[in-house]
Amino acid sequence: MPGPSPASQPLARLLADCDVLRVRPGDEDTICALATAPGVGAIAIVRVSGQSAFRFCRPIARFLPSSIESHKAYFGTLHGRLGPLDEALVTGFAEGKSFTGEESVEFSVHGGTQISGKLIEELIACGCRLAKPGEFTYRAYMNDRIDLVQAESILSLIESRSGEGSSNALSQLKGELSGHFLDIEEDLVWMGAHIEAGIDFSSDGIELKAAPELLDRALKLEKKVAALLATYAKGRLLRDGLTVALVGAPNAGKSSLLNAVVKEDRAIVTDQPGTTRDLIEVETRLEGTPVRWVDTAGLRDAVDEAEKLGVERSRKAIESSDFVVVVMDLSDPLWKSGFQNFVSEARRFPRRQQWYVFNKVDLDSEGLGISDAKTEASKLGVGERVLFLSATQGKGIEEFQAAVLAPLRESAFAHGGVSITQARHVEGLQTILESLRRAIELIERDASPELMALELSSAVHTIHELLGKVFHEQVIDRIFKEFCLGK
């Protein structure tokens, strides 16, 4: 029987080589670093990892037994070349049972920079090397303790700025996102193998057409990848927080609303239109989520050069924000035309969250203005995105804050409980989706199976890059250099 055809070799080669990782100079060194934040504190932890960790630590921790039990803490006095250093707890981790997968030791000493600094100096004198940023996590990845997606989630967990953000990062660390990537890989490999089997049979004179099952699986996978990609919009907000631009006509009450939200006078408020000439940015936290509020200059035909620059910056703030709040003065008899203009302008940004806030309801004693505004909002199709408040009296502020947080208050994430947060993942999934759609088009046209196989092979290679099954030194360096020392 003839061997595999040339077209079927790319997928087989990818599967054979995907777990081959390159050992770089220094990877076999025993490394050490401060694992806790530098500065004054109750406890400092110094971490050691490598094939000689136990041997290099024994001259300093002379009380350690000849056979160190993994995950057991030992108490005693540490000694350096010039005498005692500190009393410490020393915990050993056997090879294959530590975070890095290597023989590891953790010293828990008294906090401050002096003791931990001297301990690291002694460890280096014994043969250790100071670890590079992220090198412990890098070794965990190299030793198959975690994949590349999980490694990235550790940094996301450390840098998370909200409760939901840390929960999402923890889900990724537990392997939920990796599981979705592995499911994508499984489908791609199944389809590739099915097509390549047909190519091999064709060399024996047996023609196999693409089965309906193949097209059905490809279409389902397309939806799966697209749905995972769609979670990035929320994932980015979980990672970075929310930017809210307060826009509107001059004297509508944007600055008063900003002051009411942050509960202090951060913006100058006067009856004179055009007071705000530059952007005023204030960061607060709403239910643990960081929110950056941007008070913009009133949008109108500027009366001088300074105001003109302010209006231009306001338009740029709208384009770069996640959430636009249009503030209108309900007491202004001309509010209706302004409202119509803002709704028309907002249609330029269909994916951006937008709310329309009618301010100064305290001046509408009979509620006629509110009734007219509701009617007009319904005509313009934005009735569900209209709020009424009084910034100066604090009425409706809580409802306004709840509306801003609505996108982040969903009980579950859009795709199986996890959202993607990394631009690298977005780029990879977009590449996979494009290859998959080209493959679907080829299947529907009953085109050359060799072309289908090449598209799927490209997609498999990309999913392997995302998981770190193939080693790209530049990608690895880019990811781990963002970590702090000791992680």
Contact (Cβ atoms closer than 8 angstroms) between residue 127 and residue 105:
no
The average pLDDT across 206-211 equals 52
Largest CA distance in the chain: 91
Quickly state the pLDDT bin for 414 (edges 50, 70, 90).
very low
Looking at 361-411, which runs of residues are DSSP E strands? 386-388
Distance between CA atoms of residues 160 and 391, nearest Å = 31
Quickly state the pLDDT bin for 268 (edges 50, 70, 90).
very low
| Phi, psi dihedrals of residue 337, rounded to the nearest 5° | -65, -40
pLDDT in tens, 248-265: 777 788 888 888 887 765
User: Quick one: tokens of 424?
Assistant: 């690298």
Quickly state the pLDDT bin for 300 (edges 50, 70, 90).
very low
pLDDT above 70 (res 297): no
In this predicted model, which residue has the larger pLDDT, 302 or 364? 364
Residues 6+ apart with CB under 8 A from 13: none
In this predicted model, which residue has the larger pLDDT, 17 or 476? 476
- For residue 51, the model assigns a pLDDT of 93
For the chain, percent of residues with pLDDT exceeding 70: 77
3-class state of residue 33 by DSSP: strand
Quickly state the pLDDT bin for 3 (edges 50, 70, 90).
very low
pLDDT in tens, 81-119: 999 999 999 999 999 999 999 999 999 999 888 999 999
Contact (Cβ atoms closer than 8 angstroms) between residue 403 and residue 357:
no
- For residue 20, the model assigns a pLDDT of 46
Q: What residue has token string 């050359």?
A: 448
Contact (Cβ atoms closer than 8 angstroms) between residue 102 and residue 131:
no
Q: Domain ranges in the chain?
A: 31-157, 237-408
In this predicted model, which residue has the larger pLDDT, 240 or 135? 135
pLDDT in tens, 302-349: 445 554 565 566 666 667 677 888 888 888 888 888 788 778 776 665
| Phi, psi dihedrals of residue 26, rounded to the nearest 5° | 95, -15
- For residue 331, the model assigns a pLDDT of 86
Quickly state the pLDDT bin for 444 (edges 50, 70, 90).
confident
In sequence order, what DSSP letters do the residues of 424-479 get, joined into one string?
HHHHHHHHHHHHHHHHHHHHHTT--HHHHHHHHHHHHHHHHHHHTSS--HHHHHHH
Quote the DSSP letter at residue 5: -
Distance between CA atoms of residues 482 and 42, nearest Å = 27
Contact (Cβ atoms closer than 8 angstroms) between residue 75 and residue 95:
no
Q: What residue has token string 């003839």?
A: 2
Please give the order of strands across the beta sheet that includes 43-49: 72-80, 83-93, 104-110, 43-49, 31-34, 129-130
- For residue 459, the model assigns a pLDDT of 92
What is the fold, at CATH topology level, of the domain defined by 31-157?
Gyrase A; domain 2 (3.30.1360)
User: Quick one: tokens of 74?
Assistant: 């030992």
- For residue 484, the model assigns a pLDDT of 66
Compute the residue count for the chain: 487
Query: Which one of 74-88, 220-234, 278-292, 473-487 scores highest in mean pLDDT?
Result: 74-88
Q: What residue has token string 């998370």?
A: 160
The domain covering 237-408 belongs, at the CATH homologous superfamily level, to: P-loop containing nucleotide triphosphate hydrolases (3.40.50.300)
Residues 6+ apart with CB under 8 A from 189: 11, 15, 460
**pTM for the model:** 0.71
- For residue 471, the model assigns a pLDDT of 67
pLDDT above 90 (res 125): yes
Contact (Cβ atoms closer than 8 angstroms) between residue 302 and residue 318:
no
User: Quick one: tokens of 164?
Assistant: 């939901």
User: Quick one: tokens of 15?
Assistant: 């599967």
**How high is the mean pLDDT of the chain?**
80
